[in-house]
Amino acid sequence: MFINRLILKRFSRDIPGSLLIMTVLMGLWLLISGSFDWQHFISGIFLMGILTLFWSQMTLHEVGRTRFSWHQAKLLLRYLFFLSLEIFKANFSVAYIVLSPKMPISPGLLVLNYNLKKDLTRVLYANSITMTPGTITVDLDGDRLLVHGMTKHHAFGVRNWYLYDIMKDIEESAAE
C-alpha cells in the first residue's frame, strides 16, 4: 500500500516528464537489445519504470514540470541529424590524419564561453563535442567549456559551430 502511494506520487508529480523519460529509455532499450519480442518488451517496461522512479527521485527538488513541445521535437531531430552528419565528416578527417604518413597532429586547447542556461542543454552540447571525433570536452564549468582538439583546426572549429545555434533554439523554445 505504501509502495503504491509512493510510486503514484512520484509519477503523478510530473506525468509528461515521466512518460517522456520512460519512452526514450524504452526506445533505447529496444534499439540496443535488437529484439522486439514480448519478453524484451515486458522486461523493458519493468526496467524503464524502475529507472524512471530513480529519475523522479533525483529531480524531486525541481518545482516545474517537464514541458516538451512538437517544435522542440523537430529541433531535436534536426540537431541529431546535423550531429550525425558532423560525426560522419569528422570520422573521415581523423582517419585522414591518422593514416597520413606525416600525421599532421597539432593538439590544441580552447576555452569556450557559451550562453546555455539549462544543465541538460549544456551537457548535451558538451557531449556532442566529445562524440565528434577529434574533439573532447575536457571540462564543463558554468558557462565555460574546455575543448581539446586533435588539431588546432578541430579545437577552434567548435568556436562557431552551428550546432550551438540549434541547441540555443531548443533551449529558447522550452522557455516559451
For residue range 112-163, list pLDDT tens digits in order. Answer: 888 888 877 888 888 888 888 888 899 988 888 888 888 888 777 888 888 8
pLDDT at 14: 63
CA–CA gap between residue 67 and residue 50 (Å, rounded): 22
β 144-149/108-113 pair status: antiparallel
Q: What is the pTM of this model?
A: 0.68
Position 22 scores a pLDDT of 80
Give the phi and the psi of residue 68 in degrees, each rounded to 5: -140, 115
Rounded-to-integer distance, Cα 162 and Cα 80, Å: 12
Contacts of 117 (CB under 8 A, 6+ apart): 171
pLDDT for 85: 92
Cell readout for 171 is 533551449
**Buried-exposed string 104-131: b where 16+ CB fall within 10 A, e elsewhere:** eeeeeebebebebeeeebbebbbebbee
Q: Which residues of the chain carry a pLDDT beneath 50? A: none
